[in-house]
Structure 1
Amino acid sequence: MQLAARHARLSILFPCSLALPHLGKRFDPALGWHSYRSIPSQVFRSQRGEKTHTGFNPFCRDFSTLRYNPLDSSQSTGPFIRLLELHPGGASSQVEASLKEVSLSSELEYEAVSYCWGDPKDVSTILCNGQQLHVPRRLKVALRNMRYLDRTRMLWADAICINQSDNAEKESQVQLMRTIFSNAQRTLIFLGDAEEKQTHKMSKFALRTIQFGLSIFKRRVDLLASPQVRVWDGNDGRCRTVAPFSYEFYLELIGMLRMPWFQRAWVVQEVAVSAKATIFWGSSQYDWEDVIQSLKFMSQFNFPLAFIVTLENISTIEEERTFYRKGQNRLNGVLLRHQRCMATDPRDKIYSFCGLVDTSSGHHNPVRISYEDDVGTIYREVALKILGEDQSLDLLSRPPSLAGSRMNNLPSWVPDWSISSASTLTYAWGHGPLSLAGAELPSAQETPRFSASRGAKYSPKLSGADALLVEGHQFDKIVEIGPIFEGVQIPHTVRSLPEIAREWKRCLSTLYRARNLFVRWQQVADVRSHGLYITGETMREAFLQTLSAAEINDSERVRLELELWDKGTSFPFGLMYSAFVLVRNFLTNRPFLLFEIQGRYALHRRVVRTQGGLLGLASHATEVGDEVVICKGSSVPLIMRRCGEGEGEGEVRLIGDAYVHGIMRGEAFDDDKCQNILIK
């Protein structure tokens, strides 16, 4: 009775937490599984003669394993799912549970679990329906710590509730993911248990540095306006509040935001559609909204963020929640915004985001889910779907990545979504589009910055199996290229003094390379000449416009950053000046280290000059002799390379998009010159 009364009081004090297992004991949430992939299993016949599958993993076949019965596929009562009824138990006793088949259309009360698998070979067993079921070890740890002492708990966890050995079931259940997570009372996000949290301990030097910096900075922060973060401590069973710039919460963020959960593809949808979400980190629990509000508050200040990783991962997940609730998503935009994410099965780089696009209006047709088809077939099919629905070639405008496609049979016009374009270059909270065409913007904000083809529409046409037929004309040819900008790597490891030293050494090394690259780019652009560009600007102004893709006039922050680079290359002791600029701006989070230049348009690109004397910013793969082509339906010029002899009907390969200063508003487009072009 005393335990139940205490439980009730704590539930009132801390309603944001739905998990109060093992009161008075240490709570160790663990990572779980997030990959919908096939793993071979033994197949048996049930007593009814139906084909059934053993659960999860082939590594341990000596156990009597759980056999999945097919889900009810009748349409009269709606789709069916399985829920996991977690049995009560102590901290060290066997994990036991039961699987229940329920109709998703009925009124259900359950919590959905969002987690990251880890090593696929690191498996363990639980008792499910009285039989052994192989599950990821970290999932077992999570379930052990989630269960109540005196009552059952209803959960949905993908690795158990979906028969991972049955592709047909996976395909049907994946289409229900949005409904499963949106109908749940809460999504429980497991980042790591207490043991894993201990691995993120830092040296005394790093801790004292952070503590000293926070003590000075807090004097400049209006503490009355600071949001409060509620935290449930499973060690003492109490709820308390902490401030965003408190030493305790800042250390929590350093470890929390480094966890691989934030980089997984499936978690974006799981959080975006959820009514509420709770973060489990070690023995602490945080409300998602509290963490988001605190990070937004912290990002307003010029704070030395040397000891915190980029906020890009968590900010893009939160932004997706906003876009989803407003119904503003297009498939191409969603896929572009989350190209950074990772998935074990490359097909999930598509499937994990399909639920974020509203298909009820009829304008967007659902993506066909198939784990039997090869990846290339899926990617090609989705590319054609996007081209047809958008009536645009902006699918071809993508942020370049140095990681080349490993799919040799993929046509050049089909994006390889398996490439994860993650970056640890910045600390920005949110950002603008990464592609020149800006396809990442939600549909309600669709105001193209550029219109190289004057808004001409495009209807997709195929020639043969793989060639995309477009209409356009060659405008110019590349005659000189600069080196590739790979960014300035900012320090982000702070656990020990040697690690900090190595990170700073790498940072200064990449700065030195970037400074030399900037000088070479200036030479390609001939910025020291006294001539004028075709737009009437000085060559220096045209050069800066090119580096920022014409955003220099719209953003004071961009102009400041470009001027810092320009000054760092204008004096005999430019290298020393550049190092000084880096340290000064790094310690104050000045514009130099923000996202605007190196993380937006210049990263993995090179400055180019055309035969006609125009300056451009093009993909790293661009070579001398490549052609600048303007196509109907494309907001930006495209770089193409001829595959064979001949003009007009000749076949080409797409190299990438480009910003070419002076022709981005349709100045060079001529409808009469357009011819058929086959992109292989």
Structure 2
Amino acid sequence: MSHIYSAAKEVWVWLGVEDDFTLPAIKTLRLMNSMPPDAPEWYWTANQHLNLPQDKVEDEAQEQIAKRNNWITKSISGFEALLALLDRAWFQRVWIMQEITMAMRVTLMCGSYSLSWDDLFRAVQRPYHPCNDPACNRGRLLSYKFSPAIKFNLGNRGSEAQILTEVRLRTRTDIEERRYLYDQTQSLFDGSNKAHFSIIWDNKISLSLLLACSWHFKAQDPRDKVFALLGMSRQEDRNKIVIDYELPVEQLYTSIAAMFLAGSGSDVLQDWKNGDSEGLELLEGLSFIQRSSIDQPSWPTRTSNLPSWVPDFNQPLISSRIFRPRFQAASSNLAGRSSFEVQGNVLKVQGFILDRVGAVAEESHQNPGTNSLFFNLESWLRITHSLEPVYAATGQNRAEVLWRTLMLDETEPVGQERAKESFREWVEMFSLELYHSQRSRKLYDDLKATDDSNSLIELGPFVNEDEGKRLGVRSVNYSPRHDGSFYYLWVSVDLTRRLFTTRNGYMGLGPGIVEPGDVVVLIAGARTPYILRPLVGQDSPTRYSFIGEAYVHGVMNGEALDGREDVFEALEL
């Protein structure tokens, strides 16, 4: 089919029957494209409001309505319609990537309405005004809820249309979009910047990077998560794989896992507006393996018989990855040890056993009402109470370590004080429950008595207010004030993960299935620690089952290694 799409002068795509969103979406998209790059405030403001907490949307939208004669309200409606159009099931099928990326021209049909792919491309790729409000998304125009756009956060759900535009740019060199981008970059960059910027890519995307980009695309046959991408990938990658639908899924996935873990090398996706780029790093593929102890019908089960270290390419991520380019737990100055070897179903790496898991909290979850949310907080307080008041690895108070661990110590762009305040707001929401629960109150009072970081609130002032009214308000869905940075990071990263402490006093955030006795390991060349489980009854004491990535407070910048390499040993997964 790839040859057919490549040879066709034009491909017409049927999105389905039209609905109430179709016409407003198309009108919004065309109006966006008619606006000059230096005057994008009308649509940026609307998109910004879509990503704010609902109470802030309503308050600020009212002010804007008074100033701009209902224009903001119309803009928000238009963006909602456009996002609804791009959220159609068609955009999420892995096989449609060939239709879009390999055709010379593409026209989208939705009922009686038509839309050229070029119009869609210009909308999702155009420059826009930067966001100055920390509560709004700092990413591309079209993104999913509170996650940054998928291009610079590989594997997370984002705008599938965004990914399609990116892959198409690299698949065909003779399309109109290339000329459009070239014209745009001439005006965006002066001569000094152009030397560091490349827009014309001569090679197709590597299969490793394609697999990461298309992680949330869907396929009825799990093998198609690989086979559907071959026509768009580099020739050297295609030569390594034979399309065979008789091949068991676990055998196919295992055969390409080594390629995926090796990363994309020099192959990157690049933001043509500023030259920033992102590829798939060595061993980064391990962060795509996620497991939860909570059974949700909407979460696909892991393919059976896969080795523990092999990613399931047909299993969407259930939370954002912990992996961040800013982490360097074991990635600095280890070039000589940053390698791995695959022998059959065994992955061999160089690892440093940092510690063993001592205690675990309950797996974070979110259900309607405050009871389940309070359950999370109570579990966190209990495990934090088991630590010494002063955290040895950083010298910080244990209450501060709690919120920093849950936030992956991610305090930008709001700043440390605002990040801490957002955690205090979370605690405030449960002030009544904490006050009236004998067990939780004792834990909280002990933690507060030794909290010199002011991370915890005083319960008295909040409980002495009208308790009945406050309890009634809190039983409704939580709506954080201001940016709510703690809450939104918790929703995107912490859900389905479990807080843990180690035998030597570290605190971390790990997979939902982490257990006491599991091993916390730094793998040479990897940015994050990982949780491994010793295999009982194995001949080799260094053989483990891979559980998943982790955040461990106080070791994410290489502090545990301190430049040493002699601590690494051969481990088998």
What is the TM-score of this pair, normalised by structure 1? 0.53
2:90 is paired with a residue whose SS is helix
1:598 aligns with 2:442: no
2:526 is paired with a residue whose SS is coil
The alpha carbon displacement at 1:606 in A equals 0.9
CA contact (8 A) 1:648 1:676 kept: no
The alpha carbon displacement at 1:349 in A equals 1.5
The aligned counterpart of 2:448 is none
The alpha carbon displacement at 1:408 in A equals 2.9
Identity %: 23
For residues 192 and 420 of structure 1, the distance between their equivalents in structure 2, rounded to whole angstroms, comes to 25
One-letter identity of the residue aligned with 2:290: P
1:381 aligns with 2:274: no
Match runs of 1:237-316 below 5 Å = 245=75, 249=78, 252-253=81-82, 255-268=84-97, 270-272=99-101, 277-288=106-117, 290=119, 310=145, 315-316=159-160
Q: CA deviation digits over 1:441-470, x for unaligned, max 9?
A: xxxxxx56324253444443234x312222
The alpha carbon displacement at 1:672 in A equals 1.9
One-letter identity of the residue aligned with 1:219: I
The alpha carbon displacement at 1:255 in A equals 4.9
The aligned counterpart of 1:102 is none
CA contact (8 A) 1:341 1:422 kept: no
For residues 188 and 416 of structure 1, the distance between their equivalents in structure 2, rounded to whole angstroms, comes to 32
Match runs of 1:151-230 below 5 Å = 173=1, 177=2, 180-181=4-5, 184-194=8-18, 216=62, 219=65
The alpha carbon displacement at 1:348 in A equals 1.2
Q: Would the alpha carbon gap of residues 469 and 527 (structure 1) be closer, same or farther in structure 2, given more than 3 Å must change?
A: closer
The alpha carbon displacement at 1:283 in A equals 2.4
The aligned counterpart of 2:522 is 630
For residues 418 and 636 of structure 1, the distance between their equivalents in structure 2, rounded to whole angstroms, comes to 23
CA contact (8 A) 1:453 1:635 kept: yes
The alpha carbon displacement at 1:556 in A equals 1.1
One-letter identity of the residue aligned with 1:676: A
For residues 350 and 477 of structure 1, the distance between their equivalents in structure 2, rounded to whole angstroms, comes to 36
Bigger CA drift: 555-564 or 414-423?
555-564
Q: CA deviation digits over 1:296-333, x for unaligned, max 9?
A: 97996989xxxx98597562431453365455955444
The alpha carbon displacement at 1:583 in A equals 5.6
Structure 2 unaligned regions, length at least 5:
23-53, 137-142, 150-156, 171-198, 266-280, 293-298, 435-469
Q: Would the alpha carbon gap of residues 333 and 525 (structure 1) be closer, same or farther in structure 2, given more than 3 Å must change?
A: farther
For residues 334 and 451 of structure 1, the distance between their equivalents in structure 2, rounded to whole angstroms, comes to 26
1:568 aligns with 2:426: yes
Structure 1 unaligned regions, length at least 5:
1-172, 199-208, 227-242, 424-433, 439-446, 489-505
The alpha carbon displacement at 1:366 in A equals 5.4
The aligned counterpart of 2:183 is none
Match runs of 1:221-620 below 5 Å = 245=75, 249=78, 252-253=81-82, 255-268=84-97, 270-272=99-101, 277-288=106-117, 290=119, 310=145, 315-319=159-163, 321-322=165-166, 325=170, 327=201, 329-359=205-235, 367-388=241-262, 392-398=282-288, 400-402=290-292, 403=299, 405-421=301-317, 434-438=320-324, 449-454=327-332, 455-456=334-335, 457-463=337-343, 465-486=344-365, 488=366, 508-509=368-369, 512-526=371-385, 530-552=389-411, 554-556=412-414, 560=418, 563-570=421-428, 572-573=431-432, 576=470, 585=479, 590-591=483-484, 596-599=489-492, 601-620=493-512
Bigger strand fraction: 1
1:483 is paired with a residue whose SS is strand
Q: Would the alpha carbon gap of residues 419 and 526 (structure 1) be closer, same or farther in structure 2, given more than 3 Å must change?
A: same
Q: Would the alpha carbon gap of residues 452 and 580 (structure 1) be closer, same or farther in structure 2, given more than 3 Å must change?
A: same
Comparing both chains, which one has the higher relative contact order based on Cα–Cα distances under 8 Å and sequence gaps of 6 or more? 2
The alpha carbon displacement at 1:482 in A equals 1.1
Query: 4+ residue stretches of structure 1 with deviation over 6 A?
Result: 195-198, 212-215, 220-226, 292-303
2:216 is paired with a residue whose SS is coil
CA contact (8 A) 1:619 1:658 kept: yes
Q: CA deviation digits over 1:479-524, x for unaligned, max 9?
A: 11111123x4xxxxxxxxxxxxxxxxx6x33x54234203322331
The alpha carbon displacement at 1:664 in A equals 1.8
The aligned counterpart of 1:655 is 547
Alignment RMSD: 4.5
The alpha carbon displacement at 1:659 in A equals 1.0
One-letter identity of the residue aligned with 1:437: F
Q: CA deviation digits over 1:168-196, x for unaligned, max 9?
A: xxxxx4xxx2x654665454342212489
Aligned residues: 427
1:335 is paired with a residue whose SS is helix
Bigger CA drift: 379-388 or 318-327?
318-327
The aligned counterpart of 2:440 is none
Q: Would the alpha carbon gap of residues 246 and 560 (structure 1) be closer, same or farther in structure 2, given more than 3 Å must change?
A: closer
Larger Cα Rg: Structure 1 or Structure 2? 1
For residues 166 and 432 of structure 2, the distance between their equivalents in structure 1, rounded to whole angstroms, comes to 48
Q: CA deviation digits over 1:599-650, x for unaligned, max 9?
A: 1x32321111001101111011111110011222322211111112579653
The alpha carbon displacement at 1:264 in A equals 1.8
Q: Would the alpha carbon gap of residues 365 and 607 (structure 1) be closer, same or farther in structure 2, given more than 3 Å must change?
A: farther
2:322 is paired with a residue whose SS is coil
For residues 622 and 609 of structure 1, the distance between their equivalents in structure 2, rounded to whole angstroms, comes to 11
For residues 221 and 332 of structure 1, the distance between their equivalents in structure 2, rounded to whole angstroms, comes to 49
For residues 547 and 240 of structure 2, the distance between their equivalents in structure 1, rounded to whole angstroms, comes to 29
One-letter identity of the residue aligned with 1:471: Q
The alpha carbon displacement at 1:257 in A equals 4.3
For residues 276 and 578 of structure 1, the distance between their equivalents in structure 2, rounded to whole angstroms, comes to 56
